Structure 1
Amino acid sequence: MTVTVLVADDQEIVRTGLVMILNAQPGIRVIGEAANGHQAVELARRLRPDVCLLDIRMPGVDGIAATRELAGPGVADPIAVVVITTFDLDEHVYGALRAGARGFLLKEAGAELLGQAVRAAAAGDAIIAPAVTARLLKTFARGGPGGPLPQPGEPLTEREEEVLQAVAEGRTNNEIAGALFISLSTVKTHVASLMGKIGARNRVEIAMWAYQTGRR
C-alpha cells in the first residue's frame, strides 16, 4: 500500500527538497504541501493523508500547535504526525511528543531515515532521531509533573514488560518480533494491550511512561 504524506515547511526550497526525497521512495506519495501550520491543518483535514510531516518553526500556527490540532489529546480521528526541525532543542522535542507526534527528526537525518520515520508513523510505530532519544526521554521523566507515578490499570504480564522495554529502546515491531521470537501479530497485540493498560495513545507515550515509572 502507498503511504500518502502532507509536507509543511515555510521555506519553499526545503519543502521542495522534502517532497522530492519522499516521492523518490517506493510506496510513498506526497499529496499535499503547506507553507505554514494553519494551511497544514486545513489540508490535512481535507485530504486525510496517512502522515503529516511538519516543520516546527513556521509563521502563525507552528508545527507543535498544528500537531496538537491533528493528533493531540481529544482528537477523535487523529492523523499520524512526524515533526522535523533544524534545531536539536529539548523543548521542541518535548512539545512535539506531548502534542501527539509519532516521530521527531532533524533535517540532517537523510533520505533513508526520513522514509523510515514516515513508514513507521503510518504503521503506528514511532521513530525519534537517534541523537536525542534516550537523553530526552530521561529528561522528560525527570521533568514531568510531580505527584505519584502513573500506574497501569492492570498489572503488566512478563511478556508485556519485555515488549515495554523494547519499545522504550526505540525498536520497531519487526525488531521486537525477531528479538523475542514471536510473531509480528503477537507483538502488535502486546503493544495494543500496553496502550490500553497505561492509557498511552502511541508508542512514544509508551516509551515515556517506561522512563517515568523507572522501568527503563
Structure 2
Amino acid sequence: MLRCLIVDDSDRFLAVARTLLEPDGISVVATASTGALALSLAAELRPDVTLVDIDLGGESGLKLAKRLADQADGAPAPIILISMHSEEDYADLIAASPAIGFLPKTALSGAAIRGTLDGVGEP
C-alpha cells in the first residue's frame, strides 16, 4: 500500500481526502495543516508520496515543496501539488517546483496519484 502525507490547511478536505484515498489503496500515514508540521512529519515518517496544497492559507505550498525536497538531501519522496484552482493558473510555478505533477482536488483518487507517480517512473 502506498504511504501518503497530505498537507492542506482545510481540516474538512483532509478528512474527505483520507476517506476517499484509503479504500483506494492509499494509506494516509499523516496529515498536516502547516509547513512546519509537514516538514517534521515528512522527516519522521518518510512517506512514499506527499500531496501539498499550493495555497496553505498564509503559507505557500510551492515554497513548502522546495523545503521538503531540500530537507530530504537529494532523495525526497515524490511531491504532488494539489489545488482547487486549475493547473493553468499555476503552470509556470508548478513546472519550476520540485513537484512531479499536479492534481486538481476534484480529481483526487488513488488511481490519479498512482498515474502521476507512474508518469515519472515511481512505484
Aligned residue type for 2:14: R
Q: Aligned equivalents of 1:59 and 1:39: distance in 2? A: 14
- Contact 2:83 / 2:103 at 8 angstroms: preserved in 1? yes
Partner of 2:51: 53
From the superposition, tell whether residues 50 and 117 of structure 1 become closer, same or farther in structure 2 (CA, over 3 Å): same
In structure 1, how many angstroms separate the alpha carbons of the residues matched to 2:59 and 2:73? 17
**Relative contact order (C-alpha < 8 Å, sep 6+): which is higher?**
2
What's 2:16 paired with? 17
Match of 1:31 in 2: 29
Do the aligned partners of 1:32 and 1:43 also contact (CA within 8 Å) in 2? yes
Query: What's the offset of the Cα at 1:60?
Result: 4.3
Structure 2: runs of 5 or more not aligned: none
Aligned with residue 95 of structure 1, among 90, 93, 103:
93
TM-score normalised by structure 2 residue count: 0.83
Task: Give the aligned partner of residue 116 of structure 1.
Answer: 111
TM-score (norm 1): 0.50
Aligned length: 121
SS across alignment from 2:24: coil
In the aligned structure 1, how far is the partner of 2:57 from the partner of 2:36?
9
Q: Which runs of 4+ in 1 moved over 6 A?
A: none
Alignment of 1:72-91 (within 5 A): 75-88=73-86, 90=88
Give the distance between the partners of 1:100 and 1:6, measured in 2 at CA: 16
Identity of aligned residues (%): 28
- Per-residue CA distance 1:164-201 (angstroms, 9 max, x = gap): xxxxxxxxxxxxxxxxxxxxxxxx7xxxxxxxxxxxxx
For 2:22, give the aligned amino acid.
N
Name the one with the larger strand percent: 2
Change in CA separation of 1:56 and 1:7 when aligned onto 2, cut-off 3 Å: same
Amino acid in structure 2 at the alignment position of 1:5: C
Give structure 1 stretches of 5+ with no counterpart.
127-187, 189-201, 203-216
Contact 1:36 1:62 in 2 (8 A): no
Note if contact 2:87-2:102 (Cα within 8 Å) is conserved in structure 1: no
**Corresponding residue for residue 104 of structure 1:** 102
Q: What amino acid does structure 1 have at the position aligned with 2:113?
A: V
Q: CA deviation at 1:100?
A: 1.2
Shift of 1:44: 0.8
User: How far apart are the structure 2 equivalents of 1:9 and 1:68?
Assistant: 16
1:108 partner SS: helix
**Is the Cα contact below 8 Å between 1:50 and 1:122 reproduced in 2?**
no
Larger Cα-atom Rg:
1
On the 8 A contact 1:82/1:117 being kept in 2, the answer is no
- 1:76 deviation in Å? 1.5
Residue 122 of structure 1 and its aligned partner are, at CA, apart by 4.5
- Pair 1:70 & 2:74 matched: no
CA-atom RMSD in angstroms? 2.4
**Amino acid paired to 2:19:** M
Contact 2:80 2:103 in 1 (8 A): yes
